Amino acid sequence: MTIAKEAVNALHQRLKDLSVNASPDELAYLSKALESMAGQSTVYDIVSMSDEKLQELLDAATQHLADLDTSKTNALSSLQSATDGHVITLNNQKDTNITDIDTAGLAHQQVMNDLVAGFSSVNDVPEGSTILTEVAKKNMIETGSLPFLFGVINRSNDYWGYGAYTSQLGQWYANTSHIDYAMQMITGATGYTTDYCSFYRPPQLSFLQGINGRFIFSEMYAKYSVTTNEYTYPYALVGTIFIKNTTNADITRTFYFGGSSYWSSGYEGLGCFVATPNNVNDDPSAITGITWANVYSYASSTSNVAGSANVTVPANKTVAILFYSSSYYYTGSYNHYTQFMHWYIYSFRSGFLTTGLEVDVDRTLRAWQCRGLQYTYQLWN
């Protein structure tokens, strides 16, 4: 049966006292107390126990307590060992995970550093650079458009003022050693001050139009007849278009054009030329010169002559096609000379451009902007 805590404590204390001889009164008191708490039979049983039995009971209880302590110690030791093992495993796993994370993080960081460095190098614009201006200008050119330069150069048509000339720059209709002057004037790549720089129509960025790619300029005008130089050294109509070959093979196509011509002094006429650089586009700084070839020439008088010529664009190079025509002298009356200007390109998109050929927009813009160059080959640098 279950004995109340107070009775057990009292019984335990009294049993200890029995080992040193208890008086009959003390035993009687204990018996009555136990009887009232646990019942008479239990008390009789306990009282009738001998010292040996009580000692055996105490020894068993002590041993049981010792076993409990040992079991508790072993359990705690096992739990501690298991806990330590788990902690070590967690620490090891933590260190491994941290190492993996650090390694992956460093790899990603290196990639980002490389991207930042690459971006910085591309966008590290040196002081005084015009690259931002060039990009802004390039955005004006729509994809698929065909830009070129066109202008009308004064010779002696306007007679007075700076910039007019007669025969000083030579014949242009066929002479490859003189046609570079026309390129210098239309692109501004020249070292002259006020000589040979007057324009009736300044160089303009123009565009070939339509699905076939054509541009036609026409104008009839009358000039007061101050001197016959006005029609024997007439306006020079000059246009140039830069064509890039993006392939590893030469490409030859037919270029279609036409315009007016007059023939008197030998400094009029009509001609088509091609300028080819001495190096490829991949190494522009190595381009130190251009070679001119005359692919068409006309030396006669007419208001309109339509012509064509085969143009070869070498592999990985940009060529400049320059087309020149002169004013046609129509008649002279009432102290005036009447003349007609005509200059045109046609079937360029449909008849000239093919896979691998495209307008070189960068060099077209460079020529249009007249960036203070002295030699025409610098347009290719």
Q: What is the DSSP letter of 214?
A: B
pTM above 0.75, yes or no: no
Domain range spanning residue 308?
143-380
Within a domain: residue 37? no
Within a domain: residue 288? yes
Mean of per-residue pLDDT scores for the chain: 84
> In terms of C-beta distances under 8 Å and separation of at least 24 residues, what long-range contacts does 100-108 make, across chains too?
none
Q: How many CB atoms lie within 10 A of CB 58?
A: 14
Within a domain: residue 121? no
Within a domain: residue 245? yes
The residues facing 123 across adjacent strands are: none
Q: How many CB atoms lie within 10 A of CB 172?
A: 26
Tell whether the model's pLDDT for residue 34 goes beyond 60: no
- pLDDT confidence of residue 23: 64
User: For the CA atoms of the chain, what is the radius of gyration?
Assistant: 55
Cα–Cα distances (Å) from 213 to 38, 325, 344, 377, in that order, read 123, 19, 11, 27
- pLDDT confidence of residue 359: 97
User: Residue 289: in which H helix or E strand, if any?
Assistant: none
Within a domain: residue 170? yes
Within a domain: residue 100? no
Please, are residues 287 and 279 in contact by the beta-carbon 8 Å criterion? yes
Backbone angles phi, psi at 355, to 5 degrees: -55, 130
Q: Which of 207, 305, 293, 218 is nearest to 256 (CA)?
A: 305
Q: Indicate the number of domains in the chain.
A: 1
Q: Which of 76, 33, 30 is nearest to 49 (CA)?
A: 30
Alpha helices in 124-149 (DSSP H): 131-138
Total residues found in the chain within this entry:
381
**Six-digit token string for 299:** 């030396």
Mean pLDDT of 344-350: 97
Within a domain: residue 194? yes
Within a domain: residue 221? yes
Q: What is the pLDDT of residues 128-165, one digit of tens each?
A: 666 656 555 545 788 899 999 999 999 988 888 888 88
Place of tokens 């002479």: 175
